[in-house]
Amino acid sequence: MSDSFEQFRQQLHSQVERAQTMGVSQSDLVAGAQHIGSWLSREVDPKNPEQRLLKELWQVSDTKEQQALASCLVKFADKAQPARR
């Protein structure tokens, strides 16, 4: 895995872990990820191939599919190994 991809995954993991510690439910995490995904898709130019893929998947998906993508991203982040220090 590239360093940038691993950094992206660790950043997502950290944010999901923080939200869970604060008591945010899984469904609220997914809703938040879906909201952020929509904003990113509209407003942010992808900086690498992974971001480009996510943007393009998001743009061709309907609302239900976007919810599934958001759910997968939350699970992906949740399962990441903590960063080594």
What pLDDT is attached to residue 51? 87
The radius of gyration of the chain from alpha carbons, rounded to an integer in Å, stands at 13
List the domain boundaries for the chain: 3-78
pTM metric for this prediction: 0.81
- Give the number of other CB atoms < 10 A from CB of residue 62: 8
Q: What is the mean pLDDT of residues 5-10?
A: 83
Q: What is the mean pLDDT of residues 57-76?
A: 95
Please give the angle made by the CA atoms of 29, 24 and 56, to the nearest 5 degrees.
10
Taking the domain 3-78, which CATH number applies? Answer: 1.10.760.20
Number of residues written out for the chain: 85
What pLDDT is attached to residue 5? 78
